[in-house]
């Protein structure tokens, strides 16, 4: 997992040492910016939306702990870095992932990055489950589609033109021309999509009826707004025609 980091320490050599250790031993970490005070760090956080902030505690003007308390809510992970271990309890009360004592060591930095990566992954998994739960409740208006290599993408349900079964897989055709393929069969999505004006028109097709341009009764196909046809089988024809007639 790649991680975007910001370093905040009022001593430039400390930032340089941390950046060197990360570059040498934590290749998955990209240091987006180094900061010497909390004012610059506030701007950097807005600009870069980091995964982790390596934060010194004892700094002139505003301490690292005061800085976090002023921020209130934040979405990144925090690794405190300090020469004084008496701050450790306060650090963990602020939900810090780790506390590194100065002088920093390779082992301490590597261990902290591993903890950050684990927590970020756990949060991403929780977000996936939350989105899927919202989908099953029928109130989210969006869904997460699993793709290749464990990647997931959130799409707005109204942007799905239609779904087509392909054995045990399902292809999702989106209004922007993309096609996303999942490893689940069409039936797993049917009940969740029905509240969003989707109809099953064929054993292999689940269609967003708001994306229908016309119906060809001769060859029993729907022409969709993306130019693709969708089959209508005898099994589902009555329901499809009824919907098109407003019944």
Q: What is the pLDDT of residues 206-242, one digit of tens each?
A: 999 999 999 998 889 999 999 999 999 999 999 999 9
DSSP string, 132-186: HHHHHHT-SSEEEEE-GGG-EEEEEGGGEEEEEEETTEEEEEETTS-EEEESS-T
* Across 91-101, average pLDDT: 83
Q: Are strands 212-216 and 29-35 parallel, antiparallel or unpaired?
A: unpaired
pLDDT surpassing 70 at residue 93: yes
* Spatial distance between the Cα atoms of 208 and 57, rounded to a whole number of angstroms: 54
**Per-residue confidence band for 146, with pLDDT thresholds at 50, 70 and 90:** low
Q: What is the pLDDT of residues 28-46, one digit of tens each?
A: 999 999 999 999 999 999 8
* Across 81-102, average pLDDT: 83
Percent of the chain with pLDDT over 90: 57
128 or 142: which leads in pLDDT: 142
* Across 15-35, average pLDDT: 96
Q: Cα dihedral sign for 209, 214, 216, 222?
A: negative
Q: What is the pLDDT of residues 114-141, one digit of tens each?
A: 999 998 888 777 666 665 655 555 555 7
* Spatial distance between the Cα atoms of 242 and 229, rounded to a whole number of angstroms: 19
Q: What is the pLDDT of residues 45-86, one digit of tens each?
A: 989 989 999 999 999 989 999 998 888 778 899 999 998 887
CA distances in angstroms from 86 to 35, 79, 91, listed in the order given: 24, 15, 10
* Spatial distance between the Cα atoms of 172 and 42, rounded to a whole number of angstroms: 40
């Amino acid at each position: 997992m790649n991680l975007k980091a910001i370093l905040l320490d009022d001593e430039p050599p400390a930032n340089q040492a941390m950046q060197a250790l990360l570059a040498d031993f934590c290749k998955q970490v990209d240091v987006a910016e180094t900061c010497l005070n909390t004012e610059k760090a506030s701007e950097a956080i807005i600009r870069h939306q980091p995964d982790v902030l390596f934060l010194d505690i004892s700094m002139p003007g505003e301490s690292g702990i005061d800085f976090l308390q002023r921020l209130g809510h934040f979405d990144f992970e925090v690794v405190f870095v300090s020469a004084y271990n008496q701050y450790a309890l306060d650090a963990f009360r602020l939900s810090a992932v780790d506390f590194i004592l100065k002088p920093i060591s390779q082992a301490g930095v590597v261990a902290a990055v591993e903890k950050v990566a684990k927590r970020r992954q756990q949060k991403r998994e929780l977000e996936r489950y939350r989105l899927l739960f919202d989908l099953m409740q029928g109130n989210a208006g969006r869904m997460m589609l699993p793709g290749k290599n464990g990647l997931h993408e959130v799409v707005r349900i109204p942007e799905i033109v239609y779904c087509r079964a392909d054995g045990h897989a399902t292809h999702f055709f989106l209004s922007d021309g993309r096609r996303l393929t999942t490893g689940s069969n069409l039936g797993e999505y049917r009940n969740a999509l029905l509240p969003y004006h989707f109809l099953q028109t064929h054993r292999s097709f689940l269609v967003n009826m708001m994306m229908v341009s016309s119906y060809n009764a001769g060859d029993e196909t729907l022409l969709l707004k993306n130019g693709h046809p969708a089959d209508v089988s005898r099994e589902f024809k009555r329901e499809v025609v009824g919907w098109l007639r407003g019944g």
